[in-house]
Amino acid sequence: MAETRPSVVELRIPSKPEFVGVARLAILGVASRMPFSYDEVEDIRLAVGEACNTAVERAVKANKTDTDIVIRSEILGGKLTVKVRDEIDVLPVIPEATTSPTDLDEQGLGALLMELLVDEFKVEPQPEGGTLVTMVKYAG
Amino acid sequence: MNLKMNTRSIGNEASIIDLEGEVDVYTAPQLKQQIITLLDGGVKRVVINLSSVEYLDSTALGVLIGGLKRLRERDGTLDLICPNPRIRRIFEITGLDKIFDIYSTEADAAKKAGSKEVT
């Protein structure tokens, strides 16, 4: 019988640059438990790191570094869904596909990397405030 | 993991920055400051050695692009040493491998400096 309930790993970190590495270590552990290749695990680590980066950078700009970022990983079969939720209302900037990478700032480069590294990528404002970045990667 | 940084002069107006560890949103500002310091000191060619870099993100890419732009304004250049295929792939998928000169070894990077002096 196929699994219907995902295994969930959730982590809360402060919106500060020195904690982004903690989130990357955690997702490395989660992704390593799934049948991903070494390169795919690295892609997931970078994509989640970028999602946290954009949360931290927007928190700094909004002067809200006392807020938290919640990283929720859901494993269901060969599907890994990572949801990165922050408390910042301003959405990350998603660059146009035609923009030259040298014309992008850090945030634009981060969004570009997320789009390239995972199979599904979505950014949406939350009804209760804040922003949710959802990324999906399929193993195999 | 943190970032270790060591800067060496490799001749007239040229320096190598050896990096070891993770270049990310937390540590990239250190690299940015070091590049600015070299620029202020009159260095025209900066080579960033990524051989011992284990992780590199968009913040690092932003710092490298910024450094390259500043150096080009002064007729200088910023080149990379990157033998690690995993790190090199980040430059390839973003298209930045077409912007930077990326070498596999320090010797290869040095050859460019040599040929420039000849021509």
B103 inside domain:
yes
Residue of B30, B32, B54, B57 for testing the chain A interface, max A β-carbons within 10 Å? B57
pLDDT in the model for residue A122: 95
Question: pLDDT tens digit string along B3-54?
Answer: 999 999 988 899 999 999 999 999 999 999 999 999 999 999 999 999 999 9
Domain membership of residue B12 (yes or no) is yes
Structural domain boundaries enclosing B26: 3-107
pLDDT at A1: 63
With a pLDDT cut of 70, the percent of chain A lying above it is 99
Residue B114 lies in a domain: no
Contacts of A57 in chain B (CB under 8 A): 25
What local confidence, expressed as pLDDT, does residue B1 receive? 64
The token pair that represents B4 in the structure block: 């270790």
Q: Is B57 on the interface with A (CB under 8 A)?
A: yes
Strand partners, B19: B5
Chain A nearest-CA residue for B22: A21
Cα separation, B33 vs B101, whole angstroms: 22
- DSSP for A114-129 reads HHHHSSEEEEEE-TTS
Alpha carbons B49 and B103: distance in angstroms, whole number: 9
Cβ–Cβ contact A6 with B under 8 A: no
* CATH at B46: 3.30.750.24
The whole-angstrom separation of Cα A45 and Cα A26 is 9
Q: Is B116 domain-assigned?
A: no
Residues A85-120: pLDDT tens digits? 999 998 888 887 777 877 877 778 999 999 999 999
pLDDT class for B114, splitting at 50, 70, 90? low
Q: Which region among A56-70, A73-87, B104-118 has the lowest average model confidence (pLDDT)?
A: B104-118
Domain-located, residue B64? yes
Q: Which CATH number fits domain A7-138: 3.20.20.140, 2.60.40.420, 3.30.565.10, 3.40.50.1980?
A: 3.30.565.10
Annotated domain spans of chain A: 7-138
Q: Do B58 and A21 touch (CB under 8 A)?
A: no
Residue of B nearest to A17 (CA): B26
CB contact under 8 A, B95 and A45: no
Alpha helix positions (H), A4-127: 20-32, 38-61, 106-117
Count: domains in chain B: 1
Tens of pLDDT along A7-41?
A: 999 999 999 999 999 999 999 999 999 999 999 99
Contact A135, A48 (CB under 8 A): yes
> At B115, is the pLDDT very low, low, confident or very high (cuts 50, 70, 90)?
very low
Pairing label, strands A7-14, A68-76: antiparallel
Judge whether B30 lies within some domain. Answer: yes
- Tens digits of residue pLDDT in A53-75: 999 999 999 999 999 999 999 99
Q: Which residues of A touch B25 (CB under 8 A)?
A: 17, 20, 52-53, 56-57
Identify the H or E element spanning B79.
strand B77-81
Global model pTM greater than 0.90: yes
CB contact under 8 Å between A107 and B25, yes or no, is no
